[in-house]
Amino acid sequence: MKRIDTTDRAVDLFGAGKDGFREQIPGVSQATQLTAQWFNGVQEAIARTIEEAGIALSAADYDQFTTAVLQLMDDRVSALAETVTSELAGKEDVFPSGTRLLFQQSAAPVGWTKVTTHDNKALRVVSGAAGSGGTLDFTSAFVNGSVGAHALTVAEMPSHSHTFSNEDGGDPVGGIGYLIASSSQTGVGTVTPNATISSTGGSGTHTHTLNLDVKYVDVIIASKD
């Protein structure tokens, strides 16, 4: 059926393109005229729904339409359930026995068995054969801490030099000039005294802070029975 479409209809009464009926306003407008086509459409829409539900039309039963709609809905749901059941027949085990999956829960679901051969390990994605390895527990590797202390050797220190000056301005009494003057070395040439300066540094160790305390979610591996 369709909405009323006579020339005296109430245009767009229920929204754009959704016309309806209007009452007569004396001296202004006439009431919408009802047509046989419209009445037949309403009648057949209701009557055919009732008959589709297998109910005989009755002038005395005002609840037939409601009963028919509910009956048809129930029939459709039952038919759909039968179809689904038929298609799933023999396919209860979607996962073959032995299939392993991860679950974010402490116990395995019904029909699965919790695998306990792996504990406190990280997950690694591979493109080849699946396996396992490593020796350090997950919680031991990913914790707050520092790397081992290490004292730098001479070879590891940056190349550097130390300079000093003859602060007495060449005075032969004291300082480098004095060392040269008092040297017991004889012969012609320049006398170069042995001299040392104070060392610095404590040969201590140093550390590098490190934080690998990553967030994680615990999961279990379960195998399909």
Q: For residues 3-21, give the mean pLDDT.
A: 92
Note the pLDDT tens digit of each residue in 20-77: 999 999 988 889 998 999 999 999 999 999 999 999 999 999 999 999 999 999 999 9
Q: What angle do CA 18, 21, 22 make, to 5 degrees?
A: 125
In this prediction, residue 130 carries a pLDDT of: 79
Note the pLDDT tens digit of each residue in 130-166: 788 888 888 887 777 777 777 888 887 888 777 665 5
Burial environment of residue 64 by CB neighbours within 10 A (0 to 12, 13 to 18, 19 or more)? buried
53 vs 5: CA distance, rounded Å = 30
- pLDDT bucket at 170, cuts 50 / 70 / 90: very low
In this prediction, residue 207 carries a pLDDT of: 75
21-25, 99-103, 218-222 — which is least confidently predicted?
218-222
CA 131 from centroid of its chain's CA atoms = 25
Q: What is the pTM of this model?
A: 0.39
212 vs 136: CA distance, rounded Å = 14
Where would I find the beta strands (DSSP E) of the chain? 100-103, 112-115, 144-146, 209-211, 220-224
175 vs 168: CA distance, rounded Å = 6
* pLDDT exceeds 70 at position 182: no
User: For residues 58 and 51, is the Cβ–Cβ distance under 8 A?
Assistant: no
* pLDDT exceeds 50 at position 188: no
Residue type, 183: S
Note the pLDDT tens digit of each residue in 76-87: 999 998 888 887
197 vs 76: CA distance, rounded Å = 102
* Residue that is written with structure tokens 């404590």 in the block: 202
In this prediction, residue 21 carries a pLDDT of: 92
Name every residue whose Cβ is closer than 8 Å to that of residue 175 and which is 6 or more positions away in sequence: 166, 167, 168
Q: For residues 169-194, give the mean pLDDT.
A: 48
* pLDDT exceeds 60 at position 180: no
